Amino acid sequence: MIDVTRIPSNPGCYLFRNNQQKIIYIGKAKNIRKRVKTYFQKKDQDPKTRSLITAIDAVEFFITDTEVEAFILENTLIKKHQPKYNINLKDAKTYAYIELTTERYPRLLIARQKQEKGMYFGPFVSAVERDHVLQFLNRTFALRTCRKLPKKACLRYHLQLCTAPCIAAITPEEYDKRIRNIRLILSGKSRELLKKLRQEMTKKSQAKDYEAALVLRNQTTAIQHLQEHQKMQQRFTYDQDIINYQLKDGVVYLMLFNVYKGTLSTKNEYVFDCIPDFFDEFLVQYYSENHIPSEVIVPQKPSESLALFLSQKRKKKVRIIVPKKGTKKQLLQLVEKNIELTFFGDVSKMQALQHQLNLQEPPVVIECFDISHLSGTSMVGSLVQFRNGRPDKTNYRRFRIRTVEGIDDAAAIAEVVRRRYQRLLDEHAPFPQLIVIDGGLGQLNSAIQELDRIGLKIPILSIAKQFEELYLPGRPQPLQLEKKDKALLFIREVRDEAHRFAIAYNRLLRKKEVRASPNSL
């Protein structure tokens, strides 16, 4: 079961990976958590979606500031990774330009290639986003769209979607003014224009000229929309890396975004102990083995010798920028936001669990047991381990039940608990900070008895399936937490993963038994 609780509710992109860590699907959403959750809640899925859900082993995410940015990033990632379950279309519209014609009353068009005539803006990664920008500009600036000027005004003029230069409803000077504004916007020089339009809109509103104010508001909306686009899809001809980090308890949590030709492409995560001059050392090690871009955006200035090293290794000058404001500062903050959600979202889960259970320390290592069988046959046990709030699949274990016949989940739990912790005791291996049992009070008491027999005192609880109640040693009544309590959601996540792992092993054994049966074909 995918851990939906660690996925943020921000806009962004989600990447599904299979058990070989290959990206099999990329999607975007205004709320990533809600969108991912729908995959596992909906029924009657089509065959392709069912196949996708079955293959999902892990979820990765990029957060963005807006849904528009998520759309642009999704397009880029799909083209880079070409996932199996995404639609694979060679769309001729992708990477096209917006053309401003050189006619007496210019038009905005979509251009596949640059020609000698006209002005071209782009290319745009997202065909839908490009079309949306084009529609916004045509609508809010009311440009002509007809190939030849007609002799009388068309329906677009009566719908106030065109200024009708064909009947001289707008002067050439006023039309040219609108064209100049559009050129500034498409060239990325919209800040002064935006300020001017807002001032004009305020004046029109105060003068109660609401119709003119509405026109100006629509123009402002178009500019803001385009600015969102330009933030993630910058029209640069050079590459960038954006690096940020956080320090916590002597550990460095660092994230690096690669931006190729102005398009956010990949992110890399690193965790290491904090040492003197760690940032310079990281940059040396990373860029000794990876591509060095033209520009590196960082939260602090590295040493001059390191900047010289990067330029010499690249054989071209490398600009190292510590932005104080503007778009590059926003990108640096975006990386920081990703660090917070990626690395520290799991810490809050462990802290919530520590608080609700009155534990002396956060449960960094949790082990959960579950039993699976089919009417008492092919009985197996599963153990899953969560470390730092995430599944640690290297420490998953499977058990074939040896000492129990028939349906007796409590006895089966006792066997797997005894086998697991007697072995850790014999090997002098570390124990978990918390044990979770999938079951009720009977399963919990069986596990506690086995721990007592081998002389271990480890915090332990069980979670009942029907009402999600938590049974704790020495507590006469179960602990009932709110359904959305972070601690309960975490325990359920651990329990669901143990259940999934147990069922998978049970099915595997049944298949083997069927194949081994003399009556099988």
pLDDT of residue 475: 86
pLDDT of residue 238: 60
> Is 365-516 assigned to CATH 3.30.420.340?
yes
pLDDT beyond 60 at 92 = no
pLDDT digits (tens, 9 = 90+) for 148-192: 888 888 888 888 789 899 998 899 998 998 898 888 777 766 677
pLDDT of residue 520: 44
Mean of the per-residue pLDDT values of the chain:
83
pLDDT of residue 5: 76
Confidence band (pLDDT; 50, 70, 90) for 460?
Answer: very high
Element housing 6 (H / E): none
pLDDT beyond 80 at 455 = yes
What is the DSSP-derived secondary structure letter of residue 233? Answer: B
pLDDT of residue 93: 39
Q: Going by C-beta distance under 8 Å and a sequence separation of 6 or more, which residues neighbour residue 444?
A: 437, 460, 461, 462, 471, 473
Confidence band (pLDDT; 50, 70, 90) for 140?
Answer: confident
Residue extents of the structural domains in the chain: 4-81, 97-232, 240-342, 365-516
Confidence band (pLDDT; 50, 70, 90) for 415?
Answer: very high
Query: If DSSP codes are grouped into helix, strand and coil, which group holds residue 164?
Result: coil
DSSP for 180-207, please give it: HHHHHHHTT--HHHHHHHHHHHHHHHHT
DSSP for 66-125, please give it: SHHHHHHHHHHHHHHH--TTS-----TTTT-EEEE--SSS--EEEESS--SSSEEE---S
pLDDT of residue 118: 84
CATH fold match for the domains 4-81 and 240-342? no
Higher pLDDT pick, 336 / 71: 336
pLDDT of residue 91: 38
Mean pLDDT: which of 129-133, 139-143, 260-264, 417-421 is highest? Answer: 417-421
pLDDT beyond 90 at 449 = yes
pLDDT beyond 80 at 377 = no
How far is it, in rounded angstroms, from Cα 493 to Cα 348?
14
Mean pLDDT: which of 62-66, 95-99, 399-403, 508-512 is highest? Answer: 399-403
pLDDT of residue 296: 94
pLDDT of residue 89: 42
pLDDT of residue 483: 86
- Domain 240-342 belongs to what topology? Nucleotidyltransferase; domain 5 (3.30.420)
Torsions phi, psi for 141 (to 5 deg): -100, 0
How far is it, in rounded angstroms, from Cα 435 to Cα 451?
11
Q: Which residues pair with 321 in a beta bridge?
A: 297
DSSP for 24-57, please give it: EEEEEESSHHHHHHHHHH--S--HHHHHHHHH--
How far is it, in rounded angstroms, from Cα 352 to Cα 488?
9
Pairs from 354-360 (Cβ < 8 Å, separation ≥ 24)? 355/487, 356/479, 356/481, 356/485, 356/487, 356/488, 357/434, 357/459, 357/461, 357/472, 357/487, 359/433, 359/434, 359/459
pLDDT of residue 512: 65
Q: What percentage of the chain carries pLDDT values higher than 70?
A: 86
Confidence band (pLDDT; 50, 70, 90) for 443?
Answer: very high
Higher pLDDT pick, 521 / 28: 28
- Per-residue burial over 208-227, b if 16 or more Cβ lie within 10 Å, else e, is eeeeebebbbebbebbebbb
How far is it, in rounded angstroms, from Cα 18 to Cα 25?
9
pLDDT of residue 234: 47
pLDDT of residue 517: 54
How far is it, in rounded angstroms, from Cα 479 to Cα 470?
5
Element housing 477 (H / E): none
For the domain spanning 4-81, the CATH number is 3.40.1440.10
Q: Going by C-beta distance under 8 Å and a sequence separation of 6 or more, which residues neighbour residue 486?
A: 5, 348, 349, 352, 353
pLDDT of residue 383: 94
Rounded-to-10 torsion of CA 463, 466, 467, 470: -10
Query: If DSSP codes are grouped into helix, strand and coil, which group holds residue 458?
Result: coil
pLDDT of residue 222: 67
